[in-house]
A and B are shown apart, each in its own frame.
Chain A
Amino acid sequence: MDQGTQKKSRYGMLIDLDRCNGCGACMVACAVEHNVAPAEHKATARTGVTWLRVAPMSNGGEFPATDTIYVPMPCQQCEKDTPCVAVCPQNAVDVDPATGIVGQVPQRCLGCRYCMTACPYHARYFDWWDPQWPKGMEQALNPDVAPRMRGVVEKCNFCHARLHTARTKAAAEGRESINPADYVPACVEVCPSKAIVFGDLEDATSELAQAVKHPHVFRFLEKLGTESKVYYRSDKQWVLDKAKSLQTV
């Protein structure tokens, strides 16, 4: 719901796959920002919690005619018929009409994982283990984000705590809208190759709204019609072809 301190927005991001070098800084920054606990000894790519996961994607060519790009895959923030919202029996997932951000309320989640099954992007993660930090490390947690408990699903929310901070600052300064520079998700902030552009798709003058018009910009599984707000760009034809032909990610 609109808080009265800002106009209606549709936050989204554009990830330039040709610039991403798979350094992993975004993954680390995301985990630190959201107090994601260190991995359980037995955790794997299937059972771990990484709100933003960067996965390599190959052109399938034989050596040396091979090429690989890295695909950061956060929650795609689907806007239309949001699959996870539709299946949640607990109303633990909602789409904020004021921002377009798909939110997850862990206190409501009963851990049925319907949403994980429904998510075509595999961008939701279940807490299989109690979150545990090495002794003393709890004092190094981010004070702005509450840790989640075992048995719930969690996912990227475009660093919602940072949006709150930006709104608070705007309100304190008597502004109706936030300053876009005050709301930058952690992954965007730390990307050393400046591969991620974040902004308000509703603001036609924003860098993002301009950038997504490029002909080489696409969304994964666009044919599903979920109108995701995470866009990708690559000037490599094989990437565009592969993205178009993907049945699943």
Chain B
Amino acid sequence: MKLTRRDVLRFAGGSVLGALFTPIPWKLLDDSSIWTQNWSLIPPLPRGPITTKFTHCPLCSAGCTAKARCVNGVPVGLSGVPNLATRNGMLCAVGLAAHHVAYHPLRLSGPQAFTGKDDGSVLMPVTLDALLASLGPKLRAVMSSASAGAVAVLDQRPGRAMSRRYQKFLSGIPGSMYVVSPSREDGMLGTLRALSGSPCGPMGFDFENTKTVLSVGAPLLDGWGVPERMQVLFADTSASGKTLMQIESSQSRTARGATTWLPVVPGTEAALALSFANVIFREGLYPKEIERTITDFPRYRELVLRYHPHPISALTGVSPDTIVDTARKIAGSPSIVIAGADPARGPLEKSTEILVAGLNLLLGAPARSGGITLRREMPDVDAGAMPETPLHRVPDHSIGLLIMDGAEYGESFPTSLLKRKMVADGGTVVLLSPHLSARSASADYLIPTPSPFESWEEHPTPPGAAAASFSVSAPLLAPRETSVDAVRFLGLLSEAIGTGTEGSTSPEAVLRQRSDAIQSAGRGTVYAPDGAEGKPVSAFSNGDEAWQAFLDGGCWVDEPAAPARSGRFSILGTLTDDELATAARPRQREGAAITLTPTGVRAAMSSGSISPILSKIFQESDLRGNSGTALINPTTASQLGIQDGSAAVVRSRKGTLQVRLMLDPAVRPGLLQAAVGPWPNGTSGTETMDNEGVLAICEVQEDGTWRFTDVTIEKA
């Protein structure tokens, strides 16, 4: 048999064809696929003893109780503690990944300083000694000259023992100011206190015993207060028997979950509040004793009677029948009316806040079950707290040196607001923060504080709580060597300016002092996190026992304040006739194309203070937008010729911003809702600092609010 070249070719061809029907090529394909996978990048999993430890989430003011699952003592997972009497124990999306924050790539590696903020200089690492040597003279200069502005501390989590340390530090400096966040969720309670004719203690909302809550824009079902507490009470109102009515210009998550949503024209909330009052007056639905306890009752009545539901309906977009029904509902049962600061949009205008708060006075809510409760003061070591001034109420150009604590603990505000409060030359800003953030660009000095779970954290009374409470989180991770806690920094700064170190020199000792104060006061109950029955503080024989209970994850809840008759109030406060005349005006001006309003969820505003896993959720789904995305009504988008997902440039008088537009019929036509944060993963520190996103183009009004800005939109 002769072997020809044709035979060889046929054999080869047949072999190739036959091989396709064997596993060989598929196995090769498989192996090639596996070999190109980079196994070296798969990290080894943590190994070691698995333990659990009760703690509290340190990422926002709610301080929810959590159970940390640890390997070798390092937390690898957090879970809530359901059915807890105190902090209600289920964690939100932000808190579930709180144990990652310590590893965030934008963590500060050491103290940093700008040589000049406005000359394009970059951050330079400095030693702590050098930083203090530079900062000390500046602080002394501000202290010694009235024209150099005041020394101020911006504390975004007031009420802590550390807050008292700041106040003590400031009390030794004439003219100093203790400043708090402009977006405090329970800021309306501060307004009510200011309306009181006589000094009164802290207040809270008696949500448990109320029947009806009328919320003016407060995100009650989207991270407000203690989120799980609000979910239990108001997410399933058929079970709780309560009614939640939400007044908001767009259909937010809270508006969706509420019993009733009143879609109001932006900026007309004050008119709506006055119209509710009008119905209550005309139908005599208010308790008659308030005619004696409200000092400016005749003036208020004269004002309110001008706001009949029919003309106000045209202004607010809410039908007259709805106005009447709503007014009757809040007057017919124990009710609370909340004027809500929003973590992104900030506070309501002063006049709106006062007029909404006034509805509570009209309904006789203060000191009434199911209304506004009077809380006892937290037992404390240092008496004589300084008055709190929200940042937006600080006089313009009055701060010469500002120490910002904790940077972004939940809420955000425009840098332009901060700049307006600083003296003309910009003054000096010191930022204590574990991470770089948009706020870092405002600072002259950056002090790297320990990250959450590396530091001793304290969780004082959450916003709006009816009774005072206190819990502690002991560190679960070792702090970095370069970290400087706030107590130590304040001590070093005191030494640098020659005022000496006062009191405790460690965060643990500061918290221990508060624990001792609670134990000495002997009132209230400490609840263990395992759901066991609470132990009265009076049953602790000494401070060590009480401190151990806190270290074990216990939470102290104060006794309710003794029932007290409501005092005298001014319902209109300091509002002038001119302010009242302009209070009820629509914010969406006729002719203005688009009104921009920032949005965001508490504790997820920045790129630094949340887990990269949470940023991922924002980035890889349509659940919520991250920085650089904005929601717009489809009708408005159609008028502008904009498609879903397209890029656009938003222009205001403050600047321009490129965004990706997403269509959402729940957004009011004419509004543009742009997310404040978080930044997508991988955003560098420089990017984070150079661009504060939508807040950079928000206009800060005369009264320091920034809820609405007129903008134009063009296709990018």
Instruction: Kindly list chain B residues whose C-beta atoms are within 8 Å of the C-beta of A48.
Output: 616, 619-621
Q: Which of A38, A66, A149 contacts B251 (CB 8 A)?
A: A66
Instruction: Kindly list chain B residues whose C-beta atoms are within 8 Å of the C-beta of A28.
Output: 93, 96-97, 611, 613-614, 617
CA distance A148 to B105 in the complex (A): 22
A 19-31 to B, binary, CB cutoff 8 A, 1 in contact else 0: 1011111011101
Tell me, yes or no, whether B26 is within 8 Å of chain A by CB.
yes
Instruction: Kindly list chain A residues whose C-beta atoms are within 8 Å of the C-beta of B26.
Output: 89
CA distance A219 to B457 in the complex (A): 46
Given contacts A64-B251, A137-B103, is CB(A39)–CB(B620) below 8 Å? yes
CB atoms of A134 and B612 under 8 A apart: yes
Tell me, yes or no, whether B624 is within 8 Å of chain A by CB.
yes
Q: Which of A33, A38, A135, A139 contacts B616 (CB 8 A)?
A: A38
Distance (whole angstroms) from the CB of B500 to the closest CB of chain A: 38
Most buried by B among A23, A49, A130, A133: A23
Given contacts A24-B617, A45-B620, is CB(A143)–CB(B43) below 8 Å? no
CB atoms of B665 and A143 under 8 A apart: no
Size of B's binding interface in residues, CB under 8 A: 75
Tell me, yes or no, whether A205 is within 8 Å of chain B by CB.
no
Given contacts A45-B620, A56-B623, A68-B666, is CB(A140)–CB(B74) below 8 Å? yes
CB atoms of A143 and B100 under 8 A apart: no
CB atoms of A190 and B79 under 8 A apart: yes
Instruction: Kindly list chain B residues whose C-beta atoms are within 8 Å of the C-beta of A21.
Output: 221-222, 231, 235, 253, 256-257
Instruction: Kindly list chain B residues whose C-beta atoms are within 8 Å of the C-beta of A147.
Output: 42-43, 45
Instruction: Kindly list chain A residues whose C-beta atoms are within 8 Å of the C-beta of B100.
Output: 32, 137, 140
Tell me, yes or no, whether B47 is within 8 Å of chain A by CB.
yes
CB atoms of A63 and B620 under 8 A apart: no
A 143-156 to B, binary, CB cutoff 8 A, 1 in contact else 0: 10011111110000
CB atoms of B617 and A63 under 8 A apart: no
CB atoms of B80 and A31 under 8 A apart: no
Tell me, yes or no, whether A168 is within 8 Å of chain B by CB.
no
CB atoms of A190 and B263 under 8 A apart: no
B231 (CB) vs chain A CBs: closest residue? A192
Given contacts A19-B235, A70-B623, is CB(A143)–CB(B46) below 8 Å? yes
Tell me, yes or no, whether A131 is within 8 Å of chain B by CB.
yes
Tell me, yes or no, whether A36 is within 8 Å of chain B by CB.
yes
Tell me, yes or no, whether A83 is within 8 Å of chain B by CB.
no
Most buried by B among A70, A138, A140, A152: A140
Q: Which of B41, B92, B93, B635 contacts A63 (CB 8 A)?
A: B635
Instruction: Kindly list chain B residues whose C-beta atoms are within 8 Å of the C-beta of A38.
Output: 612-613, 615-616, 681
Instruction: Kindly list chain B residues whose C-beta atoms are within 8 Å of the C-beta of A63.
Output: 251, 263, 633, 635, 665-669
Most buried by A among B44, B92, B616: B616
Tell me, yes or no, whether A53 is within 8 Å of chain B by CB.
yes
Given contacts A68-B251, A142-B76, is CB(A193)–CB(B681) below 8 Å? no
Instruction: Kindly list chain B residues whose C-beta atoms are within 8 Å of the C-beta of A31.
Output: 97, 613, 616-617
Q: Report A129-186 residues with CB < 8 Å from chain B CB.
A: 130-143, 146-152
CB atoms of B42 and A149 under 8 A apart: yes
CA distance A148 to B42 in the complex (A): 7
Given contacts A90-B30, A136-B103, is CB(A25)–CB(B235) below 8 Å? no
Tell me, yes or no, whether A40 is within 8 Å of chain B by CB.
yes
Instruction: Kindly list chain B residues whose C-beta atoms are within 8 Å of the C-beta of A27.
Output: 93, 617, 621, 623
CB atoms of B633 and A190 under 8 A apart: no
Tell me, yes or no, whether B370 is within 8 Å of chain A by CB.
no
CB atoms of B236 and A36 under 8 A apart: no
CB atoms of A22 and B253 under 8 A apart: yes
CB atoms of A143 and B617 under 8 A apart: no
Q: Report B302-360 residues with CB < 8 Å from chain A CB.
A: none
Tell me, yes or no, whether A78 is within 8 Å of chain B by CB.
no
Q: Report B68-92 residues with CB < 8 Å from chain A CB.
A: 71-72, 74-77, 79-80, 90-92
Distance (whole angstroms) from the CB of A88 to the closest CB of chain B: 12
Instruction: Kindly list chain A residues whose C-beta atoms are within 8 Å of the C-beta of B45.
Output: 35, 141-143, 146-147
Distance (whole angstroms) from the CB of A116 to the closest CB of chain B: 15
Instruction: Kindly list chain A residues whose C-beta atoms are within 8 Å of the C-beta of B72.
Output: 139
A33 (CB) vs chain B CBs: closest residue? B77
CA distance A89 to B29 in the complex (A): 11
CB atoms of B97 and A32 under 8 A apart: yes
CA distance A77 to B487 in the complex (A): 53
Tell me, yes or no, whether A44 is within 8 Å of chain B by CB.
yes
CA distance A62 to B235 in the complex (A): 24
Given contacts A25-B93, A140-B75, A192-B90, is CB(A40)–CB(B681) below 8 Å? yes
A25 (CB) vs chain B CBs: closest residue? B93
Tell me, yes or no, whether B184 is within 8 Å of chain A by CB.
no
CB atoms of A111 and B33 under 8 A apart: yes
Tell me, yes or no, whether A110 is within 8 Å of chain B by CB.
yes
Distance (whole angstroms) from the CB of B92 to the closest CB of chain A: 6
Given contacts A63-B669, A66-B666, A90-B30, is CB(A29)–CB(B96) below 8 Å? yes
CB atoms of B46 and A139 under 8 A apart: yes
Instruction: Kindly list chain B residues whose C-beta atoms are within 8 Å of the C-beta of A142.
Output: 45, 76-77
Tell me, yes or no, whether B385 is within 8 Å of chain A by CB.
no
A149 (CB) vs chain B CBs: closest residue? B37
Tell me, yes or no, whether A60 is within 8 Å of chain B by CB.
yes
Given contacts A41-B682, A48-B621, A137-B103, is CB(A151)–CB(B37) below 8 Å? yes
Instruction: Kindly list chain B residues whose C-beta atoms are within 8 Å of the C-beta of A150.
Output: 37-38, 41
Most buried by B among A60, A64, A138: A64
Tell me, yes or no, whether B640 is within 8 Å of chain A by CB.
no
Given contacts A28-B97, A29-B96, A38-B612, is CB(A66)–CB(B665) below 8 Å? yes
A selection of 5 A-B contacts at a CB cut-off of 8 Å is A62-B665, A63-B665, A133-B612, A140-B75, A149-B41
List 17 extra interface pairs beyond A21-B235, A48-B621, A149-B41, CB under 8 A. A31-B613, A31-B616, A39-B619, A50-B621, A54-B621, A62-B665, A64-B261, A66-B251, A134-B104, A138-B44, A140-B76, A141-B76, A149-B37, A149-B38, A150-B37, A192-B91, A193-B236
Residues of A within 8 A of B (CB): 19, 21-25, 27-29, 31-33, 35-36, 38-41, 43-45, 47-50, 53-56, 58, 60-64, 66-68, 70, 89-90, 110-111, 130-143, 146-152, 189-190, 192-193
